[in-house]
Amino acid sequence: MRKLIFIIGVMVIFKGSLAAFPNDDVEKEKSSIKQVIEAAYVKGIHIDRDPAAIRRGFHPDFTMLVFKDNQISKVALEDWIARIEEGKKKSPTLSEKTTHNFEIVDLSGNAAIARIELFKDGKHVFTDYMSLYKFDDGWKIVNKIFYRH
C-alpha cells in the first residue's frame, strides 16, 4: 500500500512539473498572437493604414463577416485593404488616438481566438472577435466578426 501511495505521489509531482512547461509555451503563444493583432490590425488598419503590415498578419484567405440589416456579407482581405487605401487617399492623416485592450486570448494547439476592445479618442468603437491559426511562418488572422458600438 505504501508503495502504491508513493508511486501515485511521484506521478502527481511529475505531472505537475510537466504542466509548467506547456503553460510557459501557452503564454509565449498568447504573446505572439497579441503581437500579430497589434501589428497587423490595430496599427496596420486603424493607425498606420499600412497594406504591407496588414498582409503580414492576415492570411490571404481571411474573411471578415459583416452583420447588417439581419444579413451577413463577406469581405475578403484584398477588398478590405482596397477600402483602407481609398480612405487613406481621401484623408491622409488620422486625428483620433486609437487604443485597445485584449479581453480574451485563448488557444488550443494551432487554433486561437481573441476578443479585442478598440477605442478611438477614448470612445469604445469596436468589439472584435478574431480567429487565428498558427502556420509555419507564425500566427495569422483568418476570420473576424465584430460589433460596432
| pLDDT at residue number 22 | 65
Q: Which residues of the chain have pLDDT under 50?
A: 4, 10, 13-21
Domains and CATH numbers, the chain: 2-148 (3.10.450.50)
Count CB neighbours of 114 within 10 A.
24
| pLDDT at residue number 20 | 46
11-25 pLDDT, tens digit per residue, is: 554 444 444 446 789
- The count of C-alpha atoms lying within 13 angstroms of the C-alpha of 30, restricted to the half-sphere facing its C-beta, is 15
pTM, entire model: 0.83
| pLDDT at residue number 21 | 47
| pLDDT at residue number 1 | 57
Q: Round to whole Å and give the CA distance between 44 and 13.
A: 45
Kindly state the cell numbers that stand for 23.
503553460
